[in-house]
A and B are shown apart, each in its own frame.
Chain A
C-alpha cells in the first residue's frame, strides 16, 4: 500500500467519525476511544462499523468489532484488511 493510499484511509476514517458521531475534526486523533472520548454508545458503534464497511467495501466481524476501541484501531484494521481482502480475492 502506498503512503497516499494510507493517508486516504486515515482521512476517510476521520471524516466518517466526524459525520457519524458529530464531533469536531481536531478531536479525532488515533488515540481517542470511541466510547469514552468521542461519546459513542453501543448503537453508535454499530452504525460506525457499518459506515466503515460501506466506505471501504469490507465486512468487519462482530468479534473484531470488540477490538476496535480507538480511531487508531479502526485505521489499522481497515489498512490491514482492505488490502488483505483485495490480495486474497484478487478483486479490484
Chain B
C-alpha cells in the first residue's frame, strides 16, 4: 500500500497519526486565499517530486500524477514487486483514477495562453499533463504493467471504484496483479473556489484542525484535501506462491447509483443502502459479521443520510458496529479518498485498532451510531467496510477481511 495525505507520506506516518487522533488540516499555502471564504485545506507537506520522478519529467505532469507515481512506487515496494517483478507483465494492470484531474496545470496554462498566445502559452505536454488516465499510464510505464489500464472517474468514489473494479478484474481472471486506487490534487483556486461556490466547504478558518467534524451538530462542510491512496491487489494463490506480504483480503464490492440528484443523496440514502447490501452479498457475509465501517462521513449534511443508510442495512447490528470517519483527521481527498480509506480499513484489520472520529464534541442527535469518538480503540475485527459516495449519486462499498497469519 502507498499513501500520501495531509497526515504524511507513506503508510507508517499516516497510521501513527491516525491512531494518535491528529489532524493534518491547516491554512492554505498554495495560493492567495484573501478573496476565498475558505482559507484552510489538507495539503501534502514535504513532497519532493525528484525523489520519485526525473527532473525533466516533472514539468510534463500535473501534481496529481506525481502523487500517483509516488504512491504506486510505495505500494509496489511494500508488495515486494520491486524485488520480484510480476512474472507475466500482461497480467499486471493499473486502475488509478482521479476525480478532477490536472486543475493547477489547467489554470496556469489558461493564464499563459492569455499572456503569450497559443504557440508559446501552451506546452506540448499540456494534454498528457492534465488528463486523468495519465496517472494510470505513467504508473504502467514505470512498472512495466502491460495488462488492463484504466482510470475510472466517479468523483469522490473514484478510489473505491478503482479498487473494486481491479478486484473484479482479478476475480474474472484477466489479471494476477493490479495497482489500484485514486490520486488527487485540487487545492487550487478553481478547486477551492468551485466547492466554495457550491457552499460545500467548512469556513472554520480560525481552527483548521477542528474544522472537519463528521457527525457533529456544529459541522459546516467538508475540508478539501489532496494526496493518493494506492493498493496492490493480487490473486491469492499468486501472492502466496511468491511469498508476498499479505495485509488483508478484499472480499466484497458493491456499486450503485442514486438516480436522484447531482449533489444531494436521496432520503434514507437509498442508493448507499443498495451499494452496501451488494457488497455484503458479494462477500457472502451477514451484516453482523462486519465489525468496522470506515464511513464516507464528509462533515456535511449527508452524514445523517449515511447514518440512516447504515441503520437500514445493518438493523440491530447498527448499535454494535463501530463506524468512524477518518476524514475528521485527513479531510476529503475527493478521488483519492476511497483509496486512502481502503488502506486505512486494511490497517485497522491488520493492527486490530480502529481509528477514531475526532472533533466529535457535540454529536448531531440524528447521528446516533458508535463513531469511535476522539480516541482510537483496540478491537480485533474480522471484516471492515469502506464507503464512498460521489457527486452524481455514484456509490461504492468495499469489504476487506483480516488476513489469517
Which residue numbers of A lie inside 8 Å of B, CB to CB?
Answer: 20-22, 43-44, 46-47, 50, 53-54, 59
**Residue in chain A with minimal CB distance to B60:** A43
The answer on a CB contact under 8 Å between A22 and B120 is: no
9 contacts between A and B (CB under 8 A): A22-B54, A43-B125, A43-B128, A44-B124, A47-B123, A47-B125, A50-B119, A50-B120, A53-B120
The answer on a CB contact under 8 Å between A54 and B120 is: yes
Q: Write the nearest CB–CB distance from B54 to chain A, whole angstroms.
A: 7
**What is the CA–CA distance of A50 and B120 in the complex, to the nearest angstrom?**
6
Chain B residues, CB < 8 A from A47:
123-125
**Residue in chain A with minimal CB distance to B59:** A47
Q: List 9 tightest A-B contacts by C-beta distance, closest first.
A: A22-B56, A46-B124, A43-B124, A22-B55, A47-B124, A50-B120, A43-B125, A54-B120, A21-B56
How many B residues are at the interface, by size bracket? 10 to 19
**What is the CA–CA distance of A20 and B128 in the complex, to the nearest angstrom?**
17
**What is the CA–CA distance of A59 and B118 in the complex, to the nearest angstrom?**
13
Which residue numbers of B lie inside 8 Å of A, CB to CB?
Answer: 54-56, 60, 119-120, 123-125, 128
**What is the CA–CA distance of A20 and B119 in the complex, to the nearest angstrom?**
17
**Residue in chain A with minimal CB distance to B58:** A22
**Residue in chain B with minimal CB distance to A19:** B56
Main SS at interface, chain A:
helix
Q: Write the nearest CB–CB distance from B333 to chain A, whole angstroms.
A: 30
**What is the CA–CA distance of A43 and B57 in the complex, to the nearest angstrom?**
12
Q: Write the nearest CB–CB distance from A40 to chain B, whole angstroms.
A: 9
Q: Write the nearest CB–CB distance from B134 to chain A, whole angstroms.
A: 13
Q: Write the nearest CB–CB distance from A43 to chain B, whole angstroms.
A: 4
Chain B residues, CB < 8 A from A43:
60, 124-125, 128
Chain B residues, CB < 8 A from A50:
119-120, 124
**What is the CA–CA distance of A46 and B123 in the complex, to the nearest angstrom?**
9
**What is the CA–CA distance of A20 and B60 in the complex, to the nearest angstrom?**
11
Given contacts A44-B124, A47-B124, list 8 more A-B pairs with CB under 8 A. A22-B56, A44-B56, A46-B124, A50-B120, A53-B119, A53-B120, A54-B120, A59-B119
Q: Write the nearest CB–CB distance from B61 to chain A, whole angstroms.
A: 12
Q: Write the nearest CB–CB distance from A63 to chain B, whole angstroms.
A: 16
Q: Write the nearest CB–CB distance from B399 to chain A, whole angstroms.
A: 43
Residue from B56, B60, B125, B128 whose CB has the most chain A CB atoms within 10 Å: B56
Q: Write the nearest CB–CB distance from B108 to chain A, whole angstroms.
A: 15
Chain B residues, CB < 8 A from A44:
56, 124
Chain A residues, CB < 8 A from B123:
47
Chain A residues, CB < 8 A from B124:
43-44, 46-47, 50
Residue from B60, B123, B124, B128 whose CB has the most chain A CB atoms within 10 Å: B124
**What is the CA–CA distance of A51 and B141 in the complex, to the nearest angstrom?**
27
**What is the CA–CA distance of A54 and B112 in the complex, to the nearest angstrom?**
13
Q: Write the nearest CB–CB distance from B21 to chain A, whole angstroms.
A: 43
**What is the CA–CA distance of A44 and B88 in the complex, to the nearest angstrom?**
32
Chain A residues, CB < 8 A from B128:
43
**Residue in chain A with minimal CB distance to B128:** A43
Chain A residues, CB < 8 A from B55:
22
Q: Write the nearest CB–CB distance from A51 to chain B, whole angstroms.
A: 9
Of the candidates B54, B56, B120, the one whose C-beta lies within 8 Å of that of A20 is: B56
**Residue in chain B with minimal CB distance to A47:** B124
**What is the CA–CA distance of A8 and B123 in the complex, to the nearest angstrom?**
26
Chain A residues, CB < 8 A from B119:
50, 53, 59
Q: Write the nearest CB–CB distance from B6 to chain A, whole angstroms.
A: 30
Chain A residues, CB < 8 A from B54:
22
Q: Write the nearest CB–CB distance from A29 to chain B, whole angstroms.
A: 19
Q: Write the nearest CB–CB distance from A66 to chain B, whole angstroms.
A: 16
Q: Write the nearest CB–CB distance from B49 to chain A, whole angstroms.
A: 13
